[in-house]
Structure 1
């Protein structure tokens, strides 16, 4: 389902919207060629040749013509922490706050999907410091609390908050004591030396046996391609407040070359460190984030 961020304030509350998107996504999976992958995936897994046939669910086999074995609580329960970067750069573009809205809506959908499958989920919001660090739970009341936090993130205003992404990840690595999936939403717009620090922090998480799913969220047209009108602009850094006057056409080729090199470096480092990276354009469907999560979850079984 495609969401217009200009219309988002007039849509239902975040909990109703997340539920609608997830239910529509699951319905779509059941109608797709990947039907077997989506059938009650928290309660069943595909049968592996050579396993005991004791736990095969023959009713599911009758419906799908595929062999699934029943899973039990110790097999299905997952612990997931969702980290949402709410620094000032995430509130770009200023006219619709598109990046933070995409991140919050995707995070809300994943929280609902996790709770629906009896998995435990927690929320961490951060900028230059950790603003919120909840417990991980799978209860309905906990999910309602998370939706309240998501709604607050949508409604708050940007106030020149910088990002301490690496420091935050190091802190999270030390605080989480049980193996978990850490899902990070951030634009990762930072200096090159801070990029190295980010990947060192990710290695800290991996060393602690946690899995990482990273969603890099950007506005492709303006942030990566500098697709602005050919006229003078006053460009402002949302985190520092620094301003610069320029005409985009004067620097567009140089800017695109530098941005493409930067994002390519991120992609290569993610491959090197075996980090699941999903690059998100805020104009893309929310289903891209949900599908990436399901693929990651299936790898962890």
Structure 2
């Protein structure tokens, strides 16, 4: 069982504690992996060199990895990061009415991933800010790296981990243009969204992402999905009433009547998203909420290392 498998999103859960445990587990995994460059850069350590003083050796890291790392103390702010989360109603899928065993919905997953990223950014002395959008910008923080700012981010995310709001539509194109105009200094913009727009709106939506690139920002787009249900339509073969969480529109049908056509459409849609992202030099990362958060943290570290070259 992984840490992700054991996450229990009850009201008493401490979001900051979960984020800390996710990141610590990720560090241990990196120390045991061949990606030493990422682990050293992330953990603010460097490999111990024979002949150096042993005063700064981190013995806790040694106990986990069986390797000597010395602590780095240089004060530096390497990066400005803006975390952007789509909080429209489609992000509350799936709910208990869809799957009684569901661990978390797309928005809860995105908030936990964002909390883990915030913890990681602060440990690296990077500055971070948070933006939430649905039909417009509902929250847009400053970019800072101190503990008080981190607590503001956690308390804001906490509201969306435990509350569900229906019939909140998405205006991704307009919101992304607003974000591009509001973020004045070059930043890494990290977006969590299911990108569920009408195919006719895909081009304008990517024009908005291109606006961010035009303003010299680097962009990582996490395409947040419940892959089993939203991509492969894995429902029991029985009648369902499907409800559009943003409009409230309802549709009754037998699941196997739609599965083949729906799955083919969604697979094509995701591939078009991927190709558009490649065209605009945007990092596109399929993010399945049934998987852990390493996919987010490692994508960020890879991007961060490239930005510092």
- Scaled by the length of structure 1, what TM-score is found? 0.88
Q: Counterparts in 2 of 1:204-283, with a 5 A limit?
A: 204-283=211-290
Contact 2:176 2:208 in 1 (8 A): yes
CA-to-aligned-CA distance 1:20-78 (integer Å, 9 cap, x gap): 110111122112111233114475899xxxxxxxxx99859xx999xxxx89656x421
Structure 2 CA distance for aligned equivalents of residues 144 and 225 of structure 1: 38
1:166 to 164, 173, 194: 173
> How far has the Cα of 1:10 moved from its partner?
6.4
Residues 1:79 and 2:80 aligned together: yes
Mapping 1:93-172, distance limit 5 Å: 93-95=94-96, 96=102, 97-172=104-179
Q: Pairwise CA RMSD of aligned residues?
A: 2.7
Does structure 2 retain, via aligned residues, the 8 Å contact 1:216–1:278? Answer: yes
Equivalenced residues, count: 288
Distance, in Å, in 1 between the alignment partners of 2:160 and 2:51 is 45
Q: 5+ unaligned residues in a row in structure 2: which ranges? A: 58-65, 97-101
**Structure 2 Cα separation of the partners of residues 174 and 40 of structure 1:** 31
Aligned-pair CA distance for 1:253: 1.0
1:71 to 1:297, Cα distance in 2 relative to 1, 3 A: farther
Normalised to the residue count of structure 2, the TM-score between the two structures is 0.86
**Aligned counterpart, 2:32:** 31
Distance 1:87 1:230, change over 3 A: same
Secondary structure (helix, strand or coil) at the match of 1:285 reads coil
- Three-state SS of the structure 1 residue aligned to 2:200 is helix
Residue by residue over 1:90-137, the C-alpha shift from the partner in whole angstroms, topping out at 9 and shown as x without a partner, is 000111552111100000000110011111101101111111000000
